[in-house]
Chains A and B, each alone.
Chain A
Amino acid sequence: MSGAFVKSLALHLGVIALLAVLGFVLPAYHRDVVSRVLLLGVFAMGYNLLFGYTGLLSLGHAMFFSAGLYGAGLAVYHLGWTAPTAFAAGLACGALLALCVGALALRTTGVAFMIVTMMFAQVFYLATLYFGAWTRGDEGIVLQPAQRTIEFAGLHFNPTDPMTRYGAALLLLSVVLLITLAIVRSPHGCVLVAIRENEERTKMLGYNTFTNKLASVVASGVISAAAGAAYALLFGYVGSTFASVQYSILPLLWVLLGGASTTLGPLIGTLLMYYLVDLSSSLLARAFPDWNLSHIGVVGLALILLVLFFPKGILGTIRERWLKWLP
């Protein structure tokens, strides 16, 4: 057991070190893409905690991501808060929303849970449009670099500098990755997996499944909100697109591709899918210029193929075949 722990800890630290090296090696364009992917990967990790480990398929995670996005973005834009307090505000918004949504939605199970989360997310999306006076709806808000700069102990962090941005995204990813690993290995994580496998039996063993599930929704919501808040502060854009249903589907796709209930799967899935969409759109657009091909076709096809032929994802399959100790 402890051998497996040492191996998995080494693997995770190795991945973080590799990403740190990549930050110096990658050309400017790819460094920017990967910083974006790291943040979206954090979002996917938050999603995976609920979907992969607890077995609850939410179709509304865009609301948690955008709760962080708007919580941080609006605090900077309208209240003039500094970046660290705005980040905390984003986390608090995500936690509060997840607590409320979780307490309501967890009264349902299965398909009803999926539809309820989707509808709450739709309400959130419509709210971002309705309160356009503050959020500027579809058009969105652009946060000026000066508003996002952090002064700390004489040091000066400027988020428009690509290196700083990459570093900040990697820092968040590392923290979340290690937290996820800790949660998964904790007794609470084992209860979550037990709920996924058989909720009735877990209840019979004397665990309060509702509280455990609620804790999982809140943790997942806070991690997603952290990704959103960091996105607002690092990339300086806050818009209602991020609250739309598409951003609830994408984390599901990333997690399915990388492997549900694996700690590193969401990051791998996000990275691959982002580059697949990026490369295939430009390739396909060149091959079939009149077909209006956009990413939705690729995403749709990927979803169907994954669920039909590859339901365990990349790391899930690797774990099943070769590396049994993979967390």
Chain B
Amino acid sequence: MPFGPHLLLATLEGLVSSAVLALTALGLSLVFGVMRVVNVAHGEFFMIGAIVAWWVASLFGGHPAAGFVAALVISPLFVGAIAFASERLVLRRLNYNPEATIVATIGLLYLLQQAALSFYGPEARPVEAPFNYRILLPWFGYSGYKLFVILAAVVLLFLTWLVLTRTRIGLVMRATQFDRETAQAFGIPVERVYAGVFAMGAMLAAVAAVLIVPISQAHYLMGQDPLLLSFIVVIIGGLGSLRGTLVAALLIGMSDGIVSMFFSPTLAKMLATGAVALVLVFRPQGLFGTAVR
């Protein structure tokens, strides 16, 4: 394949990973922005989302689209419930102390991996795409489902943005993010907001996983890469800044897609991780963010 079409293919792959990454990282960013805690178990919520999608899809016989639509509803609800429960049972008792929360979410990460290993097993299992349509380009055929993933992610991101900026729920969340004590003084149930935000962040990761699982496969260790990439995106974009998160997801997803097509993926990950650590050291507010108040 000549260079031009090769680059086009790499760009398309990059867009797919950007789309999924944007959803996942947005969840992490919301949790950090509002609650000021880092959720290390975020990648495992992604993983549980994918596994539930496989489980739902295998329950539904018939056309794969039926199972897919069901998974798109059930999986985020299931994962949201787990996140809600862990917020109530663990994070709240720690009073959202940032360091204790990191330790506790590391524990949660291992527990969720163990649960997946126990109830799902160590195998990687594929999920059938809801439809099989190949778009024939002059140089190669491209999966229509992958284009659908990009479109669906854009729609979901737009919906999240609407919720955050145009509804009362979003207003309450932004108020809590801006100043927790004042929000509480104005009668906002801060604890309930925290639980809701934590569940919502996890649900975004689960939706991303349902979208990606027909392309990759469901596996109990699949949460590691999304976690690392989400960290990278959230840091580059500026911790807690939503617009920065989206721009950074596009940047990282595209460069990850393009670099891993032309170079060794291990080298790509190594350079990206190192570069991001240095961003955090020298520009802690992120490349696009403004300094934290």
Interface residues of A (CB under 8 A from B): 57, 59, 104-105, 107-108, 110-112, 114-116, 119-120, 122-123, 126-127, 129-130, 249, 252, 256, 288, 291-294, 296-297, 299-304, 307-308, 311
A299 to B270, CA, bound (A): 27
Residue B64, interface by CB 8 Å: no
Q: Known A130-B266, A301-B107; judge A110-B118 contact (CB<8 A).
A: no
> Using Cβ atoms and an 8 Å threshold, which residues of chain B touch A114?
38, 99, 102
> Using Cβ atoms and an 8 Å threshold, which residues of chain A touch B99?
57, 110-111, 114
Residue B113, interface by CB 8 Å: yes
A126 & B281 in contact (Cβ 8 Å cutoff): no
A108 & B107 in contact (Cβ 8 Å cutoff): no
B102 & A111 in contact (Cβ 8 Å cutoff): yes
A274 to B114, CA, bound (A): 18
Interface residues of B (CB under 8 A from A): 38, 90, 93-94, 98-100, 102-104, 106-115, 117-118, 121-122, 228, 231, 235, 264, 266-267, 269-270, 273-274, 276-278, 280-282, 284
A128 to B284, CA, bound (A): 28
B102 & A107 in contact (Cβ 8 Å cutoff): no
A127 to B281, CA, bound (A): 20
User: Which of A112, A116, A288, A299 contacts B110 (CB under 8 A)?
Assistant: A299
A292 to B99, CA, bound (A): 31
Q: Please classify the interface of chain A as helix (H, G, I), strand (E, B), loop, or mixed, using the class held by over half of its residues.
A: helix
A111 to B96, CA, bound (A): 12
> Using Cβ atoms and an 8 Å threshold, which residues of chain A touch B267?
130
> Using Cβ atoms and an 8 Å threshold, which residues of chain B touch A304?
90, 104, 107-108, 111
A and B contact pairs by CB, cutoff 8 A, 23 listed? A108-B280, A111-B38, A111-B99, A111-B102, A114-B102, A115-B280, A123-B277, A126-B266, A127-B270, A130-B264, A130-B267, A292-B121, A292-B122, A293-B117, A296-B110, A296-B113, A297-B110, A299-B107, A300-B111, A303-B103, A303-B104, A304-B90, A311-B100
B103 & A120 in contact (Cβ 8 Å cutoff): no
User: Which of A108, A119, A252 contacts B103 (CB under 8 A)?
Assistant: A252
> Using Cβ atoms and an 8 Å threshold, which residues of chain A touch B108?
300, 304
Q: Known A256-B103, A301-B111, A303-B107; judge A308-B118 contact (CB<8 A).
A: no
A294 & B117 in contact (Cβ 8 Å cutoff): yes
A108 & B100 in contact (Cβ 8 Å cutoff): no
> Using Cβ atoms and an 8 Å threshold, which residues of chain A touch B38?
111, 114-115
Q: Known A114-B102, A123-B270, A293-B114; judge A302-B284 contact (CB<8 A).
A: no
